[in-house]
């Protein structure tokens, strides 16, 4: 055996011994390494200020792009509109508030919550949003909840349900930290004037929000919203069948965020439930397509509206595998020439003030 070979073997053995020592040290020093990693992660999370770092304009973040159907990758319906340091939340489904935290969007920055309708999957995160906004911001006024008439009972019920919790937190942290006047929510109900399909529900500091009626029968009232700020515009369809008023409300808008249900895929679910004798679920799967919009219909609406970009959200059914996306979107590009995005939690769309560009990012 040559000297070169002996030297290489000794070097390999030395490196192996060093590797074993490093692994052993890492194992023994796990508490210390974990302490350091945790401190670094906390420093990054606490110092992160997504809202403060955003430039002037309108920014739309998907805090929940799912539906009531279980989906490991999507929270319930929720979109955040961020303008000049203020955050407006459109619907607040289950898991969405925790997504806000993961995305670096402080719930304390919430200016108002807007509800499109009162289906459970659109309101079941309200209690958590009210709590996090109050506890995390030092607010001394409750969360304004802008919604059609009927929202009063929902807000009153949640305020009652959280009343004991509010008192616990005031007693624990003190009134200087947890203002007794800032907890819960305040209903800001609006009617749709007779004979009109649209009404302005917020108009302050250059931000204008218009509500418009949609069709989600038998659920009523049901609305969508249009946001306008410094030459940029975003429209949220709310839950609805394909409807001309959505295109009319958009009318060349920059971003159209439209709910979607793939009826063919839901039909497959219906057959599967039928095969195992789950008749109740067969009935539900048969019913739900009649008050939602298919991806192709949403594309047709975007085309009629001359929307600059279409974002699909409130995804039904769940898409646990990315491989299913193309099947879900089948036929969409034939009906709309603009960019189409299948919404996923954490997506961010930025519309700089007084420009035409739409920049896309990811906060998760």
Tell me which residues are annotated as active site.
121
What is the token pair recorded at 338? 């603009």
Residue 300 CA, chain-centre distance (Å), reads 24
- Helices 30-47 and 3-28: angle between axes, nearest 10 degrees: 70
CB of 208 within 8 A of CB of 229? yes
Question: Rounded to the nearest 5°, which phi and psi values hold at 219?
Answer: -80, 125
Secondary structure (DSSP) of 227-274: EEETTEEEEE--S-SS-HHHHHHHSS-SEEEEEEE-HHHHHHHHHHHH
CB of 289 within 8 A of CB of 263? yes
Beta bridge partners of 203: 208
How far apart are alpha carbons 344 and 342 in whole angstroms? 7
**Helix runs in the chain, H state only:** 3-28, 30-47, 50-53, 96-102, 120-123, 126-137, 151-161, 163-173, 244-250, 263-275, 279-287, 295-305, 325-328
Q: Is 203 helix (H, G, I), strand (E, B) or coil?
A: strand
């Amino acid at each position: 055996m040559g000297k070169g070979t002996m030297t290489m073997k000794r070097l390999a053995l030395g490196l192996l011994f060093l590797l074993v020592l490093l692994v052993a040290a890492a194992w023994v020093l796990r508490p210390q390494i974990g302490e350091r990693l945790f401190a670094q992660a906390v420093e990054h999370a606490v110092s992160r200020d997504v809202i403060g770092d955003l430039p002037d304009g309108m920014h739309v973040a998907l805090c929940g792009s799912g539906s009531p159907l279980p989906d490991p990758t999507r929270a319930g319906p929720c979109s955040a509109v961020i303008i000049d340091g203020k955050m407006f939340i459109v619907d607040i489904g289950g898991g969405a508030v925790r997504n806000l935290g993961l995305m670096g969007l402080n719930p304390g920055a919430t200016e108002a919550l807007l509800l499109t309708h009162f289906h459970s999957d659109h309101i079941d995160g309200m209690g958590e949003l009210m709590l996090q906004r109050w506890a995390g911001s030092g607010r001394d006024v409750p969360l304004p909840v802008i919604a059609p008439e009927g929202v009063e009972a929902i807000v009153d019920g949640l305020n009652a349900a959280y009343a004991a919790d509010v008192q616990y937190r005031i007693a624990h942290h003190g009134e200087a930290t947890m203002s007794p006047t800032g907890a819960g929510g305040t209903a800001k109900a609006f009617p749709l004037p007779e004979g009109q399909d649209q009404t302005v529900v917020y108009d302050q500091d250059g931000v204008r929000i218009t509500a418009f009626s949609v069709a989600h029968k038998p659920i009523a009232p049901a609305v969508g919203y249009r946001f306008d700020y410094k030459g940029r515009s975003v429209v949220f369809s709310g839950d609805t069948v394909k409807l001309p008023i959505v295109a009319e409300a958009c009318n060349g808008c920059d971003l159209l965020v439209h709910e979607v249900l793939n009826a063919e895929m839901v039909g497959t679910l219906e057959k599967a439930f039928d095969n195992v004798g789950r008749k109740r679920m067969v009935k539900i799967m048969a019913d739900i397509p009649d008050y939602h919009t298919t991806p192709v219909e949403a594309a047709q609406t975007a085309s009629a509206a001359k929307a600059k970009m279409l974002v699909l959200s409130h995804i039904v059914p769940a898409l646990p595998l990315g491989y299913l996306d193309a099947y879900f979107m089948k036929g969409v590009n034939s009906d709309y020439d603009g960019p189409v995005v299948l919404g996923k939690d954490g997506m961010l769309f930025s519309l700089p003030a007084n420009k035409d560009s739409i920049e896309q990012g990811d906060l998760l």
